[in-house]
C-alpha cells in the first residue's frame, strides 16, 4: 500500500513550519526528504511511517526512517562458491541483521552459466534474488529460470521479446519494497545489447513508484562505464554495484545524492586461482596461445560482496562495507 499524497503534503507543511522554529536538525532532515525525487514514494509499510498523523511521521523522520540492510554477493563460481554461500550466509545474516540478500549467479554451474538446480541451491541457502550477466546463455535449461522463476533477473538491456525479466521486486510485510535491476555493459563485452544507460534510466522511473529502495547490478568490464552508471543514477537509486571482473575493488563510496557505489564486488569461490579457475591451464593458454580447459579451482574459498544500510523512507544509503569471508576447511 502506497503512502498517500496527503501524508507527503502534511510532511512538507510540517517541515516548513518546524523550519522556522526548530534548529535541532529534524526539520532540515524532513525538508530534505520531501525535496528528494522519491519523497512521494515513501512506503506506508515502513515501520514508523504507517499512520496519517504528523507525530508518527515526525518520529519516523527523526529516526531517519526504518533502516534496511542488504547484502550483495559477488559472482558465485562453481561448487566452491555455492558451498561458501550455504555455509557462510547464515552467519552473515545474523551478524549484519540482513533484510535482503542478492547474489550474482552467472558462474554458479561449473563456472559457466546457471541452471535451475543450481539456482535452487542458492535460494535454499538464503539468497532472495539472483542476477546474471554475459554467461546467461551458457546452459540450455536456463530458459526454465527465465520463463518460470520470478526471483531470477537477467540483464534488462536485451532486445524486446527476450525471455525473462530485467528487474524484480522484493516485497515483505513491515519493510519497504526493494527493486532490483540487472544490466550488462557494452565496453569490451561480448554481445550486442541495447544501451544500458537508457534501459536502466527508464526502468528506474518505472520502479520508483513501487519501491523506495532500488539496487542496480551493472555487469560490466570497464571501470569507466560502471562509474558513469553510478554517477548518472546518483540520487535516483540506493546503490549501483559492479560485477563481472571477479576482482573486488576498494573504491566503495556513497555519492552526494545518497547512492552507494562499488566498482566491483568481487567473486565468491576459490581465490587460489585465476578468477576462480585453476591457474595452471590459464597460464598455459597465455604461454602457448592454444585452447585449454579451465576447470574451477578449489582452494582458499572466499565469499565476497558488499553490505549497505539504507534509509527505508528516502532510499538513501547510510553506510557501505565490503565483505570478505573465508570458508574454513
Domain boundaries, the chain: 5-62, 67-326
Mean pLDDT, range 217-243, rounded to an integer: 98
The helix-helix angle for 54-62 and 5-19 (nearest 10°) equals 70
Superfamily in which the 67-326 domain is placed by CATH: Metallo-dependent phosphatases (3.60.21.10)
> 64-73, 270-279, 295-304: which has the minimum mean pLDDT?
64-73
Q: For 299-324, what is the mean pLDDT? A: 97
Q: What is the mean pLDDT of residues 216-229?
A: 98
Instruction: Give the rounded distance of the alpha carbon of 120 from its chain centre.
Output: 19
pLDDT in tens, 95-114: 999 999 999 999 999 999 99
Average pLDDT of every residue of the chain: 86
Q: How far apart are CA 239 and CA 226, in angstroms?
A: 12
pLDDT of residue 175: 84
pTM of the shown model: 0.83
Element (H, E) at 243: strand 239-243
Residues facing residue 104 across a β-bridge: 131
Q: What is the mean pLDDT of residues 285-302?
A: 97
What's the pLDDT score for residue 65?
A: 53
Residue that the C-alpha cell 579451465 belongs to: 294
Residue 9's pLDDT is what? 42
Q: Which DSSP helix (H) or strand (E) runs through 73? A: strand 67-73
How many percent of the chain have pLDDT more than 90? 77
- Average pLDDT in the 106-128 region? 98
Q: Position of cell 562499488?
A: 262
- pLDDT of amino acid 34: 39
- Residue 206, pLDDT above cutoff 60: yes
Q: What separation in angstroms does the CA of 176 have from each of 74, 142, 144, 154?
A: 24, 30, 29, 23
C-alpha cell at 261: 557505489
Instruction: Report the catalytic residues.
Output: 135
Least-confidence region, from 5-9, 131-135, 167-171, 188-192: 5-9
- SS3 letters for 166-203? CEEEECCCCCCCEEEEEEECCCCCCCCCCCHHHHHHHH
Task: For residue range 29-85, list pLDDT tens digits in order.
Answer: 444 443 343 333 333 334 444 444 344 444 444 443 589 999 999 999 999 999 999
In the predicted model, what is the mean pLDDT of residues 204-214?
96
pLDDT at 200 over 70: yes
What does the DSSP assignment read for 75-116? EEBHHHHHHHHHHHHHHHHHHHT-SEEEEE-TBTTTTS---H
For the cut 50, the answer to whether the pLDDT of residue 298 exceeds it is yes
Cell of residue 244, nine digits: 563481472
Provide long-range contacts, Cβ within 8 A and 24+ apart, for 119-125: 119/145, 119/149, 119/152, 121/82, 121/86, 122/76, 122/82, 122/85, 123/151, 124/86, 125/82, 125/85, 125/86, 125/89
**What's the grid cell of residue 320?**
557501505
Contact 81, 41 (CB under 8 A): no
Examine the pLDDT at 1 and tell me if it is beyond 50.
no
| pLDDT range class, residue 173, cuts 50, 70, 90 | confident
Looking at residue 248, what is its pLDDT?
98
Amino acid at each position: 500500500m502506497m503512502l498517500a499524497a496527503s501524508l507527503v503534503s502534511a510532511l512538507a507543511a510540517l517541515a516548513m513550519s518546524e523550519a522556522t522554529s526548530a534548529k535541532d536538525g529534524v526539520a532540515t532532515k524532513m525538508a530534505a526528504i520531501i525535496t528528494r525525487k522519491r519523497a512521494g514514494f515513501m512506503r506506508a509499510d515502513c515501520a514508523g511511517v504507517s499512520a496519517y498523523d504528523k507525530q508518527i511521521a515526525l518520529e519516523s523522520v527523526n529516526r531517519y526512517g526504518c533502516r534496511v540492510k542488504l547484502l550483495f554477493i559477488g559472482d558465485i563460481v562453481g561448487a566452491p562458491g555455492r558451498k561458501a554461500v550455504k555455509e557462510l550466509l547464515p552467519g552473515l545474516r545474523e551478524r549484519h541483521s540482513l533484510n535482503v540478500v542478492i547474489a550474482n549467479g552467472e558462474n554458479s554451474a561449473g563456472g559457466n552459466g546457471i541452471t535451475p538446480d543450481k539456482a535452487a541451491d542458492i535460494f535454499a541457502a538464503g539468497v532472495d534474488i539472483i542476477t546474471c550477466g554475459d554467461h546467461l546463455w551458457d546452459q540450455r535449461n536456463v530458459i526454465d529460470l527465465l520463463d518460470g522463476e520470478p526471483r531470477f533477473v537477467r540483464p534488462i538491456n536485451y532486445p524486446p521479446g527476450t525471455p525473462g525479466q530485467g528487474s524484480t521486486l522484493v516485497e515483505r510485510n513491515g519493510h519497504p519494497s526493494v527493486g532490483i535491476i540487472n544490466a550488462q555493459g557494452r565496453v569490451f563485452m561480448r554481445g550486442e545489447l541495447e544501451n544500458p544507460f537508457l534501459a536502466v534510466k527508464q526502468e528506474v522511473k518505472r520502479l520508483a513508484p513501487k519501491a523506495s529502495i532500488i539496487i542496480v547490478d551493472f555487469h560490466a568490464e570497464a571501470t569507466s562505464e560502471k562509474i558513469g552508471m553510478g554517477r548518472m543514477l546518483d540520487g535516483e537509486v540506493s546503490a549501483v554495484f559492479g560485477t563481472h571482473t571477479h576482482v573486488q575493488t576498494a573504491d566503495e563510496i556513497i555519492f552526494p545524492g545518497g547512492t552507494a557505489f562499488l566498482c566491483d564486488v568481487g567473486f565468491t569461490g576459490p581465490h587460489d586461482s585465476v578468477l576462480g579457475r585453476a591457474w595452471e591451464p590459464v597460464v598455459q593458454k597465455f604461454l602457448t596461445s592454444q585452447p585449454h580447459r579451465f576447470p574451477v579451482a578449489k582452494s582458499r574459498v572466499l565469499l565476497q560482496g558488499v553490505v549497505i544500510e539504507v534509509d527505508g523512507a528516502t532510499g538513501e544509503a547510510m553506510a557501505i562495507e565490503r565483505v570478505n569471508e573465508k570458508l574454513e576447511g
